[in-house]
Amino acid sequence: MFALSQTAQGVFRGTERQSSMRFEVTTRYNRQDMWAILRLQRLLNPKPPGGLLQQRSLYAFFCALLVLIVAREDLIYPLPWAFFAALVLMGCWSLPAAEGVRIWAASFLLWFSYRGKGQTLRFVFRQDHYEAEDASKTNQFPYKDLALLAEDRLRFYLVPSDGGCQVLKKKDFTVGDPAGFAAFLQKENEDMEYRLLDDAPN
């Protein structure tokens, strides 16, 4: 009986695995991706009403204090300027409109602590699972473990049920059309939640 050589068997397995590939993404994360992850986390875990009340109360307190200091100039001189500047900055930081600034600052800290700078990540999506590969290891994930797929103009966000987030930039798809990616995952996991986000950080 005819038997394949080891080389031919390896080629056959490689071809078989290649044919089972539906999508492939090869990417590198940057600071904008960290910003995007943090923004998604804020959307998924909004501040409770009590937290918003505390933030607004703090803002009102600092506004009232600032008005008092401006109205009573004689109160300014005994105060050290550093203390006065700190009060103003804390008041501005507590502004609800400063949420984007807070996320921007947090993204710098997250990027600073991220150990994978410059590292190439490869995601391969097959019929029954997907793989995440870096320079040191390859992990496999069943689609049933995905709790959420979010999408904006530039990225997809995969959120497993046990937490974390994997970002896929649409421009980095090397196999498959990103236009059909969401439908593919929804077919593989009908229980997965899907969210379309309004905007996207560049």
Taking only the tens place, the pLDDT of each residue in 109-149 is 766 777 777 889 999 999 889 999 988 899 999 999 999 99
In this structure, the answer to whether residues 72 and 135 fall within a common structural domain is no
Identify the DSSP state of 168: E
Domain termination residue (choose one: 64, 93, 113) = 113
Residue 4 lies in a domain: no
Answer positive or negative: Cα dihedral of 109, 110, 111, 114.
positive
Question: Taking a C-beta distance cutoff of 8 angstroms, is the pair 119, 135 a contact?
Answer: yes
- 124 located within any domain: yes
Q: What CATH number is attached to the domain comprising 178?
A: 2.30.29.30
Two tokens, residue 118: 């410059």
Q: Write the CA distances from 54 to 93, 131, 186, integer angstroms.
A: 13, 43, 39
Task: Answer yes or no: do 88 and 132 share one domain.
Answer: no
**Domains contained in the chain, number:** 2
Q: Tell me what pLDDT residue 132 has.
A: 94
Which residue range forms the structural domain that includes residue 85?
43-113
Q: Is residue 5 part of a domain?
A: no
Predicted pLDDT of residue 108:
66
Judgement on whether residues 72 and 137 belong to the same structural domain of the protein: no
Domain-embedded: residue 93: yes
Query: Of 70, 96, 113, which closes a domain?
Result: 113
The segments of the chain whose pLDDT lies below 50 read 1-16, 48-52, 93, 97
Burial call 18-39: b when 16+ CB within 10 Å, e when fewer: eeeebbbbebebebbbbbbbbb
* Cα–Cα distance for residue pair 76/57, rounded to 1 Å: 23
* pTM across the whole model: 0.66
